[in-house]
Structure 1
Amino acid sequence: LLWPRPQAQGLARLFNQSQLIQSFGAAPTRPLPALWRQRLGPVAAALWSRQQGIWWQFWGAHGDAGAFLVLPAVSLSGIPTHRLPVAPLLVDDLAVLAADPLSRQWLSDRLRTAMRPPRGLEERCLLQLHRPQTVSWSPAGLGALAGPVAPLLQRFQQGCLTLELRGQTVDLSGEAAVAVGVLSPASQARPEPASRPLMPGQLLELRGPALEGLLQGLLSRQLVREPLASRYAIAEPQLALLRRAPFALRLRELPQGPFQAGLELDLVPAARDRQAWVRLLAALRQPLLQQGLQDQGTNPQRSNWRDEQGRVVGGWFWRAPSAGGAPTLVLYLGPEPASGALPAAPAGAFVLQARPSDLDRLGLWPAAFPPLVRRAAQLEVQADAEPRQPVSRLRGGLALTRSR
């Protein structure tokens, strides 16, 4: 019989209680992390200098407890408990160090409850956490990291990523699912598309085969659906148009004017849907006029809306198709964007490109993301998923310095 190692059992028990957990490899020549200093007190430097193997930090469902530090229990052998700020909690062959006695007691109580064994995606992520530089998250962890944009990440509620440093870039690989406990395997990776840098001034671009993957979290909320229906007559038939349209969402910096950034959403409606889109846009005219906006356009293919001060605040237009292509509907907030071709996303894939450091400078990037991500010059992630399959394969990279 093959029995799981006690350390593997201990990590599985902690995994069940975590909303976000990270693994790290031994790096005694690097600066002492603040978490080690806080949880280990006067013995932190000595332990750091002789560390071996992997250590972890995690946040529990009780967010106020702060981060827990997890070490192999053997690394604390010979150290009197009174020299530590809080006595360690032994979980099989692991020692868990909490911020305070109350947090330690909370975790101890939680670990007494029956543990559901990890399965499917959870089991695969748990295995990855035995490697350094892996992060795994639950829906609560994603919400804490992404903040108000979490509803747009519904497809990635639970998952894990492994990071690998290659010079000035960090390779990312992993998988994520739409719900907890998904048993399905990840989809097979598709050929990686040729990377295309963001245009000058562009902060973010997200492309995908259908808006449903982006909007399903928002559109499942009555607080969103009700005003769309009552104010703008956007009910289920119109929402269906939105859900199935291939899209590209872009955010661009605006150095001048009243807006920090302009938002552009390019849609490629199917031929059978174009007249329905024309009717939907025509129905928006009266509600927008009632809000005090003015439409300066006389062309039915183009609307340009201004506020009481005469500033362009948004609009839409149809972009002529390229050879053999389909017309693109461009909706925007802020000044009208320049014309440009819609890049194709791989079939079934979502592709995100962003400049985190520029977004962070403008206060447009979630502050809870780790500094490594917030300071990156560029981020690119591709999520591959088969139609109607709950698990996406993730891959991409971070550029730590700007390319010249």
Structure 2
Amino acid sequence: MVAKKTPLYDEHVKLGGKIVEYAGWFLPVQFEGLIPEHEAVRNAVGIFDVSHMGQIFVKGKDALAYLQYLCTNDISKAEKNQTIYALFCYPDGGVVDDFLVYKFDEEEYLLVVNAANTEKDFKWMIDNKKDFNIIIENKSDQYGEIAIQGPNSEKVLQKLTDTDLSNIKPFYFEPKVDIMGIECIVSRTGYTGEDGFEVYAPVDEIAKIWNALLEKGQEEGIKPCGLGCRDTLRFEAAMPLYGNEISKDINPLEGGLKFFVKLDKEEDFIGKEALNKQWEEGLKRKVVGFELLGRGIPREGYEIYKDGKKIGHVTTGYMSPTLKKSIGNALVDINETEIGNEFEIMIRNKPVKAKVISRKFLKNK
């Protein structure tokens, strides 16, 4: 299958972005470089092309009941114009995907799902529609999406709109914001641990917004950013990545996402029974944070040992650009998850000591 191009592909090429194939899309992995882009988001402002993400709308009088049946979180708690993090699970508790739910009103919701899972998610939603009185529409090909992230993000985006962005609280959105005469959905959300916004605009208009942000944000130190620093930023901020910290084989309880799995909500949801049973019986393994005590970079998939016995594997690992040390997440045996516990990670066939630390690598985020 040939990878797809986002509506901003030509802009990335013009800017000299290093293009790679990711989740079936051609996307920039970096422009100037991972470290300067990472630091721009932590200290100033960066923008990301996230047009590859999927947008699936659910409308109709049973929209809420349907989402309660599919989602682990309690969607009934969402207010109008609020976004809420949730997951779909298989009957055995494994994760179909994680996503944000945007509530327009009781009868209209938008799910922003992972790019690689968009078709799978849409099929899952159709297959589990049952008799709910709803319409499910995959409108992913109609939207471009830009993430503006960092302490200066509001200042830069405010230059393009008369809507007072300070009125949008974190994890809320405005459904109709005029940006340069273009009607956009603007949410105060992101995947970096910093303040920021995500802007959804028609595919044929998104490049105008991208270029205007780069032009108007010069004073604030704006940089275009690629997938490379998107991953280091989300990981430092303890945000999971589907396929790493959660997957069809790693359920949300094991992934440390119990807060988003409402086992006590009245409605049954797909996977609830299996997850409830596992929670009551006790987890056998869990994702923890760790810090490398020796030299090396712990990469995804590296095996972890304790006293000669394999106890797990690394799910994500990096030299943290912010903390300047090798840290990571690992799925390990439940008996090895205490803070301060030590184990060994096999890096290039050599055991390197590591110790369990809090996954909240950045204390202030």
**Larger helix share, 1 or 2:** 1
More strand by share: 2
TM-score, length-scaled by structure 1: 0.25
Higher Cα Rg: structure 1 or 2? 1
Greater relative contact order (Cα < 8 A, sep 6+): 2
TM-score (norm 2): 0.27
